[in-house]
Structure 1
Amino acid sequence: MDAIVNWVVSLMELMGAPGVGIAILLENLFPPIPSEVVLPLAGFTITQGSLSFWPTYIWATIGAWVGALLLYWVGAAVGAARLRRIADWMWLVEGEDVDRALSWFDKYGPASVFFGRLVPGVRSLISIPAGIDRMNVVKFSAWTLLGSGIWNAILIGLGMWLGDAWDQVAVYVDQYSTVVYILLALILVLVFGWLIRREITNKRARAAADQGTTTVIEEKPYR
């Protein structure tokens, strides 16, 4: 953490507000660089007079948007067809599951992108399914900018408010993230359980179909 702080400080000293934007762009691509450290530190730096709020906020939001676009195009490069082939190869998952997920994303994609930008870890990853689904880029950008703008304003504002205690923001965000991750883990467990149950049901159905075919063959009279 100290190494990250020192790096962010040197970046801000060298480039000013654009340095904050670069740090946030990289945070989207490399999660070990946490925005809950970068942005509150930038907020504290604003109170010291080394940065101004609006340039810092704007550059941070631009950095978040550019990073999200890069991951969006990663998802677009993977594509739905390739993901279906991967799903057919994987255990428990079927190609139709990809279609169901994309259908769900068509319906709830904008809300997912918006709220996803408010969850550490998920903030970056939510861009990939948006790219796979080929969500309209303008719509994706609008929801990304809105969610990222709110997140950036909160963390920069907290850094300005807490002053020397800016590093406490990361503690609060970690607690918030833990609750969200537990909820996501529970959802994944439920989904995994549903997939296993479906696989067992499908195996029983195939076994019953095979047994029925065998019975018909055995009862077929000789000529």
Structure 2
Amino acid sequence: MKEWILQIMTSLNYVGIGLLMFLENLFPPIPSELIMPLAGFTISQKQMEFFPAIFAGVLGTMLGALPWYYVGKLVGEENIKRLADKYGKWITISRKDIEKADQWFHKHGEKAVFFGRLVPGVRTLISLPAGISNMKLIPFLIYSTIGTTIWVSLLTFAGYKLGEHYELVDEYLAPVSKIVAAILVVALIIWIVRKRTRNQM
């Protein structure tokens, strides 16, 4: 996987970043945790510029998010789950993955699209429940773009700082993503408690 990503990025430059991030959103096994840190390493070697690389990553991600959004909008939740049961193994998406993203969306509302872009395992599929719930396109694009820009920038900067050890980003991100998810859960609980307290007053 790493060699394939490297080959595309070195041969296509910024277009390669955009293409890889587009594919990463369509096929979750392609990891942004390797793509953008590699771009950061390339920047540290003076072969790319920081902001154009981030722009390419964000653009590719947003273009890749739209197909899932419209699949959710046009196909519907139960049909998608049935398709995942039947064909999901080919793109490594299961009914459980869809349900997880759906739970995120219903817990956090439209802001789930923003938060979801920052959590591996959720970020790619969060577009599905947004479409299923008929979230309006403009808010979807705004929340997605903001979350994606933060995510892509952090990964790129980490790769830039780590240099040739950029692969450590992928290695260390798993526990960090769990911490982020835990923080979001705690924040949600606090928000619910405060809301109930205000309603009882």
- Specify which structure has the bigger relative contact order, considering alpha-carbon pairs within 8 angstroms and separated by 6 or more residues: 2
Alignment of 1:23-42 (within 5 A): 23-42=20-39
What is the percent sequence identity of the aligned residues?
42
Moved more, 175-184 or 139-148: 175-184
For 1:65 and 1:148, the matched residues in 2 are separated by 8
TM-score relative to the length of structure 2: 0.73
Look up the equivalent residue of 1:145 and give its one-letter code: T
> Which residue of structure 2 lines up, in the alignment, with residue 79 of structure 1?
76
1:178–1:80 CA distance, 2 compared to 1 (3 A): closer
**Alpha-carbon displacement from aligned partner over 1:140-177 (angstroms, at most 9, x marks no partner):** 00100000000000000000011121111111111123
Match of 1:150 in 2: 150
Residues 44 and 77 of structure 1, relative CA distance in 2, 3 Å threshold:
same
Encode CA deviations 1:44-102: one digit per residue, 9 max, x unaligned. Answer: 0011111111111001001111111111011012236868xxxxxxxxxxxxxxxxx89
Count of matched residue positions in the alignment of Structure 1 and Structure 2: 166
Q: Which runs of 5+ in 2 are unaligned?
A: 81-101, 185-201
State the shift of 1:110 in Å.
2.2
* Equivalent residue, structure 1, for 2:134: 134
Alignment of 1:1-223 (within 5 A): 4-79=1-76, 105=106, 108-179=108-179
Once the two structures are TM-superposed, the CA of residue 5 in structure 1 deviates from its matched residue by 1.5
- One-letter amino acid matched to 1:29: L
Is the 8 Å Cα contact of residues 18 and 56 (structure 1) preserved in structure 2?
no
Change (3 A) 1:110 1:181: closer
Q: What's the CA shift for 1:179?
A: 4.9
Query: TM-score when scaled to structure 1?
Result: 0.67
Say which one has the larger Rg: 1
Matched to 1:140, the amino acid is F
